[in-house]
Amino acid sequence: MTLRPANLSPLFASVASLPGVGVGTSLFLSQLEIQRVLDLLWHLPSGILSRQYLPHLSLSEPGQTVTLQVFIKDVQQKNPRAKGPQQVRLICVDAKGIPLHLVYFRLSSQQLEQIVALGETLLVSGKLERFQGVFQMVHPDHVGRVGDEAKWAGTEALYPLTKGLTHRRVQGLVKKALERATPLPEWISKEVLGRYGWAPWHEAVLKVHAPQTEAHLSPSDPCRTRLAYDELFAHQLSLLLMRRTQQEKPGRCLISQDPSLHDRFLGLLPFTCTWDQTRAMADIKAAMESDRAMVRLLQGDVGSGKTVVAFASLLQAVGAGAQGALMVPTEVLARQHAKTLLPWAAALGLKGACLTGSDKAKDRRWIYEGLKDGSLSFIIGTHALIQDEVVFKDLGLVIIDEQHRFGVEQRLKLVQKGKSADVLSMTATPIPRTLMLASYGDLTSSTLREKPAEREPIETSLISLERLDEVMDRIKSALVQGHKIYWVCPLIDESEALDLAAAEARFSALKERAGDASVGLVHGRMSALDRDAVMERFRAGEISLLVATTVIEVGVDVQDATLMIIEHAERFGLSQLHQLRGRVGRGHKRGMCLLLYAKDLSYTGRGRLEVMKKSQDGFEIAQKDLHLRGGGELAGARQSGLPHFRLANPLLMMDLLELAHDEAASLLTSDPTLESDAGKRARVLLHLFLKIQATRYLSAA
């Protein structure tokens, strides 16, 4: 790829390069994801302000933003002799003698002198308030001479703010950023521009920061739509570039020299594989045997049997004389997989191992040696697999479970330990088509929807929180009957601290009622090692009741857990509820799930929870979640690793997303290396949205 075009360089300068932006302001701006000058262009207005000129205050109401002429009668300083900024109150009246106080909480002596130097008659503009029966204007937006009103006329853009920033400050910074933006070569085809009537990029950027009506703030505004399309087009183009480059790489042609391995493995299973599993195994086998490197996604509903498909894929690599690696996000999941996969391997005469961050040096040593000399056919592990000490004799297949939990660099580092290694990513979160396209482009995937025939549906009940005491009282008898129970505490305003407080309070209350049973607690502020230790005690039966925030890992398999209680279920996304429900009923005992809801639950909220009661299909639930809640709140979107967009909401812009995908595919079909005039213009777009570096990660899926 080419170097960044020179006319983009001013936009990629640090925001600290703008006049008056010091360390403090830079820190405040970073809270709004503004670090480069370019980020100010993507920080779109969220409101507008029209300044109305009034001849006198009798025509106004508190809360209005007005411009009017006033006369200074007195200047009151809280401590005139104090050094530094201080509180100042300018006592003024309007043309009818109605009082107006201009209040400054921190005004320097120099700033006060500048105001007084304007004369006794001022023109002021700002938001009116009423305090103790008197109109006041706290920190007026503008103070000037009569005749300045023309400068302040019209509408102003209002921006999302954070502590330490004002609208005037952000407006000024955006203005400076816009001065650095210049017209760019057009990367959108003439046909698409004409169809939607979109303005050129530079004109669109200027217009979105100068809204005149509320309609200009809508996502459907043509200028906003055009910029959203630019972001989606850049994203789809980068995904397709990576995918096609990967597909053009020569594959390993991993053809098993021992076809009986697969059949012998299936013979070990105490059940018959579903049609979905059989088809997925066949598709993955064909992809691994091809002369092109495999990059594939395996997505499956809760309990659909992804582990069986993953192990069959490992056997394909091992049968071809290569090694395999399965990387998972937590030690609990690593040891859980090891408990299942290592006995299967031993029964087939193969040797595998499990490697985590907490393993002792002597245990690691033999694993390192086994991977290097090839005596270990496969490895299961956490981030520990990407350490430099881990060297494979011949890594042929990398499987990444819950792949969105790993950074691109981490995935790449493991894949690069092999020579043209095939990559299979797995997710337990069913992904609707919209999320699939936005997250992965046209990535080839296999989907498991069927459940094993012996897997019984989980009985789901909706219970009002008015019956909370009754539910808690029945916990003791459930524990006596041998139930192993999860109690999930509610999300509270996205605050981890409040979530923890709620979990600790519930933990204490349940401990009092649990009798002799052991109660455990896991939450997001625990270290991974401590959390894994509690989960292991729960799995081993040392803990019978586990109180948790939403850190219960996707995929955690406690076979004898039978009861899931979710408090304030209405605060969770449906996909998240489905994942939590899937933690029980995984063994021979039937699972139950109680969804506790607030007594004032709305009709719509009740309808959402009824979906959980009626359906066990994660894909159906994910689609309904997407429809009911939209993209901004969809828990499943976050769980499935949906990329972060600044200008576009792909979940609400499906038509635009599909157009971007089709246009990107068309461009790369005619110009795979982006060397044509249209391709070079598209390169500018990739630079603009920081997608150029994506080409470094072609193998990381």
pLDDT digits (tens, 9 = 90+) for 360-384: 888 899 999 999 999 999 999 999 9
Q: Is the separation of the CB atoms in 188 and 60 below 8 Å?
A: no
- Spell 278-297 as b/e; 16+ CB within 10 A means b: ebbbebbbebbbbebbbbbb
Tokens of 355: 């490697």
CB 407 within 8 A of CB 431: no
Model confidence at 698, pLDDT cuts 50, 70, 90, reads very low
Sign of CA dihedral 521, 524, 529, 535: positive
Confidence of residue 479 (pLDDT cuts 50, 70, 90): confident
Chain segment 551-605, per-residue pLDDT in tens: 675 556 788 889 999 999 988 888 888 888 988 888 778 899 999 998 888 888 8
Q: pLDDT band for 635, please (50, 70, 90 cuts).
A: very low
pLDDT digits (tens, 9 = 90+) for 25-50: 999 999 999 999 999 999 999 999 88
Mean pLDDT of 97-107: 93
For residue 18, give the 3-state DSSP assignment. Answer: coil
Q: Please give the share of the chain, as a percent, with pLDDT higher than 90.
A: 50
Residue 632 has pLDDT above 70, yes or no: no
Domains of the chain: 52-153 (2.40.50.140), 260-448 (3.40.50.300), 459-615 (3.40.50.300)
Q: Is the dihedral of CA 670, 675, 679, 682 positive or negative?
A: positive
Cβ atoms < 10 Å from Cβ of 308 = 23
Q: What is the pLDDT of residues 386-410, one digit of tens each?
A: 999 999 999 999 999 987 677 767 8
Tokens of residue 659, six digits: 């157009």
* CB distance 252 to 313 below 8 Å: no
Compute the half-sphere exposure of residue 697: CA atoms within 13 Å on the CB side of its CA. Answer: 17
Does the pLDDT of residue 491 top 70, yes or no? Answer: no
- In sequence order, what DSSP letters do the residues of 353-393 get, joined into one string? EEE-TT--HHHHHHHHHHHHHT---EEEESGGGGSTT---S
Over 80: is that where the pLDDT of 145 sits? yes
Closest CA to 433 of 424, 425, 441: 441
Residue 241 confidence (pLDDT): 84
**pTM higher than 0.75:** no
Say which residues have a Cβ less than 8 Å from residue 113's Cβ, sequence separation at least 6: none
